[in-house]
């Protein structure tokens, strides 16, 4: 290589290194500003109860992928974010900012959150919080970090990264950034995670043949007669009048159900599933779930058993119902109604 080529190569290396160092300094600056914003400490006015110890461990999901920002889809007066389960930052500007510029600032933020976040914008015309419209003009928006999910409770580091991300967007659009209190948020995260460890379960009832296989045509007839509908996921779903799922029926064997396949299908086992936290109506929904298990067992001459193939009689179902009463009471104490939008966010 000539001296000119070597010189140009050296200049290029210096430029790349300078850009890298600058970006690192900017990221560190934003994180320091986030730490400065986390200042005062006071008791949580929404969830003042002391967090208790819990031996239950929640299911962990470690995908390692960046979690992209989510925008609220339906405009409502109160919005989707809720201080009971979200750590919220509010951004305000002196003059309205175009929605497209806000969206670009969010996407281009040099600091990202490792957990799911939700964005909302305030619409002065409707006087409510709703989704970001690229053609809209906004002076106030907010972003929330969900305090617990199937990854577990949010940590101090999660809150710090989130604050850095919110501050970077605020800087990009010339907004002020106000954060909720850090200590109460961490307390709520632990409290909610302990609750979710107990409630984030499904109850499964298995129906097994006493002899030959269950015919698919008979399964479908019993399911549809009791209000279940075969859906695209290969399961029968029982939903309420609002379309909310109460329970599902699926094949214990590998083959999923299909409209055409039910004509020739034969299976030696079925499974009824009840999602404890998400099913609306709570105990009433469980009672309907148990009643359908009896109806299905009678109609197919099947035995109702647990996952260990142990028989489940009315006494066993009664014990499960008693346990559910305690779980639902815990949810109500935390202000999270079974089958509510908050419950769906926590248990999705």
Correct CATH for 201-346 of 3.40.50.300, 3.30.1330.120, 3.90.1490.10, 3.30.1400.10: 3.30.1400.10
Convert the pLDDT of each residue in 257-282 to its tens digit.
999 999 999 999 999 999 999 999 99
Cβ–Cβ < 8 Å for 102, 143: no
What residues contact residue 86 under an 8 Å CB cut-off, 6+ apart?
118, 144, 145, 146, 147
This prediction's pTM: 0.66
Q: Taking 80 as the threshold, does the pLDDT of residue 35 lie above it?
A: no
DSSP state of 311: B
Convert the pLDDT of each residue in 76-124 to its tens digit.
445 789 998 999 999 999 999 999 999 999 999 887 777 889 999 998 8
* CATH number for the domain running over 70-196: 3.30.1400
Do domains 70-196 and 201-346 share one topology? The answer is yes
Q: What is the pLDDT of residue 207?
A: 97
Distances from the Cα of 106 to the Cαs of 24, 203, 234, in angstroms?
Answer: 18, 40, 38
Q: Which of 265, 272, 250 is nearest to 206 (CA)?
A: 272
> In 3-state terms, what secondary structure has residue 86?
strand
| Whole-number Å distance between alpha carbons of 14 and 25 | 16
| Whole-number Å distance between alpha carbons of 142 and 117 | 10
Long-range CB contacts (within 8 A, 24+) of 249-256: 249/219, 249/223, 249/273, 249/296, 252/206, 252/208
Distances from the Cα of 288 to the Cαs of 190, 285, 293, 294, 334, in angstroms?
Answer: 33, 5, 9, 10, 26
Convert the pLDDT of each residue in 203-261 to its tens digit.
999 999 998 999 999 999 999 999 999 999 999 999 999 999 999 999 999 999 999 99
Cβ–Cβ < 8 Å for 304, 298: no
Q: Can you give the residue ranges of every domain in the chain?
A: 70-196, 201-346
Q: Taking 50 as the threshold, does the pLDDT of residue 341 lie above it?
A: yes
């Amino acid at each position: 290589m000539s001296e000119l080529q070597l010189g140009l190569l050296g200049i290029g290396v210096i430029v790349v290194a300078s850009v890298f160092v600058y970006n690192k300094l900017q990221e560190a600056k934003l994180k320091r500003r986030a730490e400065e914003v986390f200042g005062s400490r006071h008791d949580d006015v929404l969830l003042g109860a002391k967090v208790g110890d819990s031996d239950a461990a929640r299911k962990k999901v470690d995908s390692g992928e960046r979690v992209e920002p989510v925008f609220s889809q339906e405009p409502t007066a109160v919005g989707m974010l809720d201080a009971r389960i979200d750590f919220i930052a509010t951004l305000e500007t002196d003059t309205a900012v175009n929605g497209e510029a806000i969206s670009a600032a969010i996407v281009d933020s040099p600091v990202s959150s490792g957990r799911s976040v939700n964005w909302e914008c305030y619409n002065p015309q409707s006087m409510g919080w709703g989704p970001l419209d690229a053609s809209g003009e906004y002076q106030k928006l907010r972003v929330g970090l969900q305090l617990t999910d199937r990854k577990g409770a949010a940590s101090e580091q999660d809150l710090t990264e989130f604050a850095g991300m919110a501050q970077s967007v605020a800087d990009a659009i010339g907004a002020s950034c106000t954060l909720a209190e850090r200590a109460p948020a961490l307390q709520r995260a632990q409290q909610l995670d302990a609750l979710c460890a107990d409630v984030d379960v499904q109850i499964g009832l298995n129906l097994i043949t006493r002899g030959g296989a269950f015919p698919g045509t008979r399964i479908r007839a019993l399911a549809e007669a009791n209000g279940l509908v075969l859906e695209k996921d290969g399961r029968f779903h029982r939903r309420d009048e609002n379309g909310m799922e109460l329970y599902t029926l699926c094949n214990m064997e590998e083959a999923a159900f299909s409209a055409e396949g039910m004509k020739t299908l034969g299976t030696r086992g079925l499974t009824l599933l009840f999602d404890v936290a998400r099913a609306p109506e709570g105990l009433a929904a469980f009672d309907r779930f148990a009643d359908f298990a009896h109806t299905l067992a009678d109609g197919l001459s099947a035995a109702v058993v647990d996952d260990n193939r142990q028989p489940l009689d009315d006494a066993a179902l009664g014990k499960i119902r008693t346990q559910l009463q305690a779980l639902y009471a815990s949810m109500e104490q935390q202000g999270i109604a079974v089958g509510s939008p908050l419950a769906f966010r926590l248990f999705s």
